[in-house]
Amino acid sequence: MPEVRLERGGAIATLVIDAPARGNSLDAELLTQLEAHLTTLAGEAEGGEVRVVVLRGAGPRGFSTGYHLPSLLAELEVGPSVSDFREHPLERALRALEELPLPSVAVIQGNAYGAGCELALACDLRIASERAKLCMPPAKLGVLYSATGMRRLLELVGPAITRELLFTACVVESERALSLGLLNRVVPHEGLEAAASALCEQIAANSALSIRHTKTILRSFLAAPDLEPGQLSEIARLRQECFDSGDFAARTAGWRKG
């Protein structure tokens, strides 16, 4: 059964998105589990036992291929789905990851697409195999990427590259992702585990208090101003217009029941 596992090993806690049969694609239940684990780890931060949190996917197919499309379509049948609404499980998990007082490292052995890519970008650092590929595919599906996701991309790569990634929905190979600032390090596939462990151990050897406070200050610098209620309403309207469109229905026809 798909789950998010919390594995503990000394100073390093690892969160594993475990749904390899479907490419570790995400749904509300997995995201709720992820948020719960992050909340637990945040509560333990001052104790100092855990110094670094790793986020990774299970199996050989990669980090996460994004939001599980059948689950997305099922959500749309009962109401608004993945959106800027703060209480959606995806937004809650991303917020918990960004606000985690411990340093977080995404270990990307393969594909990180859509919502999976969002989770990786919400981590503090990203180390990837040379086989890793990143992609933001909303335009291929006919949906509108969230404003919070756009902000995150803008912070990392600037407006021109953000436009390119979202307009083209192109797959970005690891070396280009590194050059763009989407990744911190790229290593040979066979050496990913050792390199990720070495990076985490290097962080864990430093002052936990210093790193926690550094994260707090950096978040204050990077915090975007809250959008006005009218802006939030307009964004929600634009996203719903995409979900209601014939274009979206045509692009997802193969996933629909019947």
Q: What is the pLDDT of residues 54-105, one digit of tens each?
A: 999 998 778 999 999 888 888 877 765 554 467 789 999 999 999 999 999 9
- Return the pLDDT at 200: 97
Q: What is the pLDDT of residues 10-20, one digit of tens each?
A: 999 999 999 99
User: According to DSSP H, which parts of the chain are helical?
Assistant: 28-43, 69-78, 89-99, 114-122, 138-141, 147-168, 174-180, 192-204, 208-222, 229-243, 246-251
Q: How far is residue 115's CA from residue 101's CA, in Å, rounded to a whole number?
A: 22
C-alpha distances out from residue 227 to 4, 25, 49, 230, 253, Å? 32, 29, 37, 8, 34
pTM of the model: 0.90
Q: How far is residue 162's CA from residue 224's CA, in Å, rounded to a whole number?
A: 17
The mean of the pLDDT values for the chain is 90
Q: What is the pLDDT of residues 156-189, one digit of tens each?
A: 999 999 999 999 999 999 999 999 999 999 999 9
In this prediction, residues 223-234 reach a mean pLDDT of 78
CA atoms within 13 A on the CB side of 192: 22
Do residues 130 and 187 touch, judged by C-beta distance below 8 A?
A: yes
Residue among 221, 218, 211 at smallest CA distance from 45:
211
Residue 252 CA to its chain's centroid (Å): 22
- Return the pLDDT at 258: 44
Q: How far is residue 88's CA from residue 28's CA, in Å, rounded to a whole number?
A: 8
C-alpha distances out from residue 122 to 111, 118, 232, Å? 16, 6, 21
Task: Indicate whether 250 pLDDT > 80.
Answer: yes
CA atoms within 13 A on the CB side of 38: 27
Task: Indicate whether 191 pLDDT > 70.
Answer: yes
Contacts of residue 102, Cβ cutoff 8 Å, sequence gap at least 6: 41, 42, 45, 50, 51, 52, 53, 208, 211, 212
- Return the bridge partners of 192, or none: none
